[in-house]
Structure 1
Amino acid sequence: MKKFGLLPRIVVAIVLGIVVGLWSPDWFVRIFETFNGIFSSFLTFIIPLIIVGLITPAISELGKGAGKWLGITAAIAYGSTLFAGFLALAVSMTVFPRMLQPGSFTEVVNPAEALLGPYFTVEMPPVFGVMTALVISFVLGVGMTLLQTDTMHKGFVELRSIIEIVISAIIIPLLPLYIFGIFANMAAAGQVWDVVTTFASVIVLVLSLTVVLLLIQYFVAGAIAKKNPLTSLRTMMPAYATALGTSSSAATIPVTLRQAVKMGVSRPVASFVVPLCATIHLAGSTTKIVSFSLAVMFLADVPVNIPVFIGFIFMLGITMVAAPGVPGGAIFAASGLLTSMLGFTEPQVGLMIATYIAIDSFGTATNITGDGAIAMVVDTLSGDDLERDLLVEDEEGRLIAVPDEGEPYLQDKD
């Protein structure tokens, strides 16, 4: 099953869920409705802990970084993430009223009205709410940075390891079964084909948005760095392709770093910016989540409160910090905000998870390719603040560092 990736499993779950929902009796569908209820309760319980376990040590670690340039890089990355969210909001609010039929999926997003309920439920109230988890993460993370306490930091690093095990060993393996139940419910409600075809058009729109976003990022970075944006973007394509295969920003760091250096970014800047932005720069993920959540709200005929949604975008950029290290981590971290700020129901969150994971690798590829643009900007702004070695590639494709003083030395290609 490890060789059979998450995306193929999700696709199989969707297809089987549709088949089972169309042809199975109600009592059989209720079995999976029961599982979905229990799994949803567990997600409600674990999401605040995911937020605390991922964000707190991430803030602590970022605070011990490279001083001024840590703040500047983080500000640029957060600004890029916010821009992606507002771009998706503007485009979605313009296009969706013409593309989607408001209220057409009211029964689908509330399947309890169309189907029998679960056989039983298990309540798992969270220890604290999502907003409380965010406040705790900020207070403890910043506090550990100021006090530079190793004991608490090590404890939260271990908590992060536990949370990552829970996600990788429990949530991710059971996720296909959960999505299977969601689509079985929709099929039994008789509207699954409308859902699939409608979200296919939404997915096409989102993929187009990610392309536009990358072009904007590189044209802005190219103007600042005085470099050809299309040439720079083409140089980063190996990193984009690698991310499509790995669906992990962290796993793509070596390729992203190498291509950033090939673009002309100095090695010290690239070595600092690329790993940092792999954690905090989530423009592609934000584009997907904002677009999909607005699509669900339009389809359910839920009024979109623009001020609330703007606040949701601001919180989204913070909540997803450190999530790229976990498969599908961004949407799991964001699901708490979906329910607390936007009022999403369990089936609506399930639709979000299914559509998000369906194109997860494209969001990751957009995230890490945008990291190259940020590296270009930071490299230009930093001037002589950071030590720079000239990097050239020899005939064998090896990177050779040529410092201002001393002998050239071989650089690790990774």
Structure 2
Amino acid sequence: MKKPGLLVRIVLAIVLGIALGLFLPDPVVRIFVTFNGLFGNFLTFIIPLIIVGLITPAISELGKGAGKWLGITAGIAYGSTVLAGLAAFAVCAVVLPRMLEAGSIDQVADPEAGLLEPFFTVEMPPVFGVMTALLVSFLVGIGLTLLHTDTLHKGFVELRSIVEKVIAAIIIPFLPLYVFGIFLNMTSAGQVWEVITTFIGVILLVFVLTVLLLLAQYSVAGAVTGRNPLKALRTMLPAYATALGTSSSAATIPVTLRQAVAAGVSRPVASFVIPLCATIHLAGSTVKIVSFSMAVLLLSGGQISLGVFIGFVFMLGITMVAAPGVPGGAIVTAAGLLTSMLGFSEEMVGLMIATYIAIDSFGTATNVTGDAAIAMVVDKLSGDELQHGTFVETEDGRLITVGDDEDPLPDER
């Protein structure tokens, strides 16, 4: 029999986790929680290495134009994040006052309360943090484009091969079990459903907004690349489902990368854009934070100011770049802006975090799926430049710059 695809396994893991979490005894649940603790710590350790191993050689292979493409990608990601936040504000300003009763806020349980603890844990501290990994990748990758040496480049290419083998042999096969453990523990605790029930109307609104956001992103990407946007979006469903289960954009990088290549993005561009956007492109998270912050303000009787929220959205797009690609990372990073710009009290921030974490996965899934749309656009733009002979491929697979009088790059990269 044909082995079921990753999407089928992820969906099955979510369904089984919710179903079995209703009646499995705590000791059995803690077995899977222990595995999740070990696997989650391993992801924390390997994620910075994935970023360095994939982004560094990808930047060096872009040649002397690497700095430009880094800026272009970052600009597109930031623009997508800000536009998503402003669109969410416009919609929520019209819909939420008719949906919520001002000043009717209630105490909502923390969705993390009651979660079972693992039998034991093994600390696996990363060699360096996510932001350090990005900075190292940028510095070394751009530096390699300026030096006429292949020694260091070959070393990072070999590191990429090691990272890809780890992804294929460990991360991808065990992801469904990891997702199963997450939903098993959440269902067993039961607290998350209280939050979902309280904000069910806002949750449905946010879900609709994220779907419309993805359709808009892929419509733009389809218009730029000439590809079928719905087909490309359908190809990215395994990445969406994986992020839905893990609530981690960084943990989903291997799946997003694989599906982006399957959607037609060249491997060098995908290896550069996907890990980068996993950290700097947070359109889905911005939609959620803007929507829920407006809901909390309305429920607490606060005032919503257009000028304040515009500044909040622009600052949010910058601040969340420092958010780690782990569950709840974006809202924790944004907590400072909630208090300083929106005037949130400690209780309001706690409610915001509780609500956000309860459905964190929907924003994360939107983030990573949108990353591939950006990769499609960058691939098209850089492909146009490649076709004009700016780069040429060497025997070892590296892209180097050449003059316009040189032979152009072959059609197949």
TM range (shorter): 0.5 to 0.7
Give the structure 2 partner of residue 290 of structure 1.
285
* Alignment root-mean-square deviation, CA: 4.7
In structure 2, how many angstroms separate the alpha carbons of the residues matched to 1:2 and 1:413? 31
Cα distance change on mapping 1:337 and 1:188 into 2, 3 Å: closer
**Residues 174-196 of structure 1: CA deviation (Å, up to 9, x unaligned):** 11111111111221222455659
- Whole-Å separation in 2 of the counterparts to 1:44 and 1:293: 24
Question: C-alpha displacement at 1:116, in angstroms?
Answer: 3.3
Aligned residue for 1:251?
Answer: 262
Aligned position for 2:178: 178
1:152 CA drift (Å):
0.8
CA contact (8 A) 1:278 1:367 kept: no
> Is the Cα contact below 8 Å between 1:243 and 1:249 reproduced in 2?
no
Aligned-partner Cα distance in 1 for 2:126–2:105: 33
Match of 1:13 in 2: 13
Pick one of 202, 206, 213 that aligns with 1:209: 213
Change (3 A) 1:47 1:351: farther
How far apart are the structure 1 equivalents of 2:126 and 2:231? 39
Question: Does the 8 A contact of 1:52 with 1:133 survive in 2?
Answer: yes
Q: Indicate if the aligned counterparts of 1:240 and 1:369 stay in contact, CA closer than 8 A.
A: no
The whole-number CA distance in structure 1 between the counterparts of 2:10 and 2:282 is 21
- Alpha-carbon distance in structure 1 between the residues aligned to 2:173 and 2:205: 28
Equivalent position of 1:123 in the other structure:
123
1:43-192 aligned within 5 A: 43-62=43-62, 64=63, 67=65, 75-92=71-88, 98=96, 107-108=110-111, 110=112, 113-191=113-191
Q: How far apart are the structure 2 equivalents of 1:338 and 1:142?
A: 28
* Contact preservation (8 Å) 1:115, 1:188: yes
CA distance in 2 between counterparts of 1:293 and 1:148 reads: 46
SS at match of 2:326: helix
Counterpart contact for 2:26–2:116, Cα < 8 Å: yes
Q: How many residues align?
A: 326
Q: Please give the per-residue CA displacement for 1:224-263, whole angstroms capped at 9, x wherever unaligned.
A: xxxxxxxx8398343651552366222333xx7xxxxxxx
- Equivalent residues of 2:260, 2:270 under 8 A apart: yes
**What is the CA–CA distance in structure 2 between the aligned matches of 1:296 and 1:105, rounded to whole Å?**
17
Alpha carbons 1:338, 1:349 under 8 Å: kept: no
Whole-angstrom CA distance in 1 between matches of 2:67 and 2:318: 22
What is the CA deviation profile of residues 345-393 of structure 1, one whole-angstrom value per residue up to 9, with x for unaligned ones? Answer: 9x98896567745996x53663455458857xx96xx8xx948xxxxxx
Deviation at 1:203?
Answer: 3.4
1:309 aligns with: 316
- 1:192–1:76 Cα change, 3 Å: same
- Give yes or no for contact 2:52–2:137 (8 Å, CA) kept in 1: yes
Cα deviation, residue 413, structure 1: 11
- Give the corresponding residue for 1:37: 37
Sequence identity (%): 40
Distance 2:372 2:131 in 1: 29
Pairwise CA distance, 1:306: 5.9
2:206–2:288 Cα contact (<8 Å) kept? no
Quote the offset at 1:334 in angstroms: 3.5
Q: CA deviation at 1:90?
A: 2.6
Give, in whole Å, the separation in 1 of the partners of 2:412 and 2:145: 33
- Cα displacement (A) at 1:159: 0.7
- 8 Å contact 1:82–1:313 — kept in the other structure? no
Paired AA for residue 231 in structure 2:
A
The two structures have a TM-score, normalised by structure 2, of: 0.62
CA distance in 2 between counterparts of 1:115 and 1:412 reads: 53
Structure 1 SS opposite 2:261: coil
Q: Which runs of 5+ in 1 are unaligned?
A: 219-231, 257-273, 317-332, 388-410
Contact 1:206-1:287 within 8 A present in 2 as well: no
1:270-296 deviation digits (Å, cap 9, x = unpaired): xxxx77755555699735553477389
AA of the residue aligned to 1:203: F
Q: What is the SS of the residue equivalent to 1:250?
A: helix
Listed one character per residue, the Cα deviations across residues 106-142 of structure 1 (whole Å, up to 9, x for unaligned) are 532x2xx313321111111112222222222222212
For 2:124, the aligned partner's letter is M
Q: Following TM superposition, by how much is the alpha carbon of 1:157 offset from its aligned partner in structure 2, in angstroms?
A: 0.9
Distance 1:281 1:142, change over 3 A: closer
| Structure 2 match to 1:406 | none
Does residue 334 in structure 1 map to residue 321 in structure 2?
A: no
CA 1:125/1:308 → structure 2, altered by over 3 Å: closer, same or farther?
farther
TM superposition shift of 1:315: 6.0
Deviation at 1:151, TM superposition (A): 0.9
Distance of 2:48 and 2:129 partners within structure 1: 6
Distance 2:47 2:91 in 1: 32
Residue 30 of structure 1, CA deviation = 1.4
* Aligned-partner residue type, residue 363 of structure 1: G
